[in-house]
Structure 1
């Protein structure tokens, strides 16, 4: 652990990694403080309770995921169609290489208590991601852009679950090809049978 970073930053970074490895409920504040090279008193000085720390971790994870939109624009400026394909590439590569799934989705499964503050963080982050994807599909000239965006989200989220439940050789390995076929069908580049299947 880099002792030159601030205690708050170390605590959040350590918590994110421990939550990924063991789940949110599987990690206590003592373990987080120890991993951060800190102590429980310091942790509680920055975060009133574990739930506050969980929310901050999820916000930082969400902020990191949101950077993909700027990265896509910087990589393919003025070419939303190419950005959309690159989004598929990014999602597929992440799923192929990391079977732990999505931090936000995993947290949503764990934190089912009514009124848990993390639920709003997760919902807001997921809705924001969908809105970005809808806008990207619209900018790419897709007529039914909202329908395509929702279909792509379903495919990606389902692929993450397959990776966790079935393993590395599961159907998620076909994610990229399936998403590209879906984009082609909505773009009018697919075969007649492809377009009929989508409309049905």
Structure 2
């Protein structure tokens, strides 16, 4: 028979405490920030004792890192792995589904130590995200896919940060800018103008 734990109110809980802790952490980190979330509050929301939390995580730092690891391990597969979209459509679709409150940006802002595991994960994720954009840009036929990938990554991060600061949606405007960047990066985008010049 599975041993049951007791929560902070003496309520008997089944297995799954680790998942409840992670779920509560994601919610609280997103809603009020990493630094404003204390372990007592986190345990209360997760319905576990502090002892149980420490059985699953060595501390808050490990918990932050695990939340980031789980956020998007495959780098937006619902966009980049879709075969029913053209590469150009995948580039623009990233602006439709990208999280407006990017936890990697939040972690990098709130955690000053560049050697912290969360900062390392944030850095690796952002590089991998730009690489996915670059790959799609290359498939779309961009003249300079590395440059376009970096431009779109910067635009997404800017929209995410602006949405967070102003508490307003910025991705519609960012998507319109992205469409211009993508079209200008394609050799075919200049073709109609060249044909017009040649026909004069």
Verify same fold: TM over 0.5: yes
Q: CA RMSD in A?
A: 2.3
Which residue of 1 is the match for residue 97 of structure 2? 90
Q: Structure 1: which 5+ runs fail to align?
A: 96-100, 193-200
Q: Distance in 2 between matches of 1:152 and 1:123?
A: 16
Query: Match for 2:40 among 8, 12, 30?
Result: 30
Q: CA, structure 1 residues 17+177, in 2 after alignment: closer, same or farther (shift >3 Å)?
A: same
Larger Rg: 2
CA distance in 2, matches of 1:120, 1:30: 26
Change (3 A) 1:4 1:145: farther
Between the aligned partners of 2:186 and 2:114, the Cα distance in structure 1 is 41
1:143 is aligned to: 143
* Conserved 8 A contact 1:76-1:83: no
Q: Any idea what the Cα deviations from partners look like across 1:73-106, whole Å, max 9, x if unmatched?
A: 33526x3233223223333xx54xxxxx211101
2:16 aligns with 6
State whether residues 152 and 179 of structure 1, in contact with CA within 8 Å, keep that contact through their aligned partners in structure 2: yes
TM-score by length of 1: 0.79
Matched, 1:51 2:50: no
Q: TM-score, normalised by structure 2?
A: 0.79
- The answer for the alignment partner of 2:187 in structure 1 is 188
Q: CA deviation at 1:131?
A: 1.3
Residue pairs, 1:46-195, within 5 angstroms: 46-63=56-73, 66=74, 68-74=76-82, 76=84, 79-91=86-98, 94-95=99-100, 101-168=101-168, 173-190=172-189
**Does the 8 Å CA contact 1:130/1:150 hold for their aligned counterparts?**
yes
Count residues with an aligned counterpart: 179
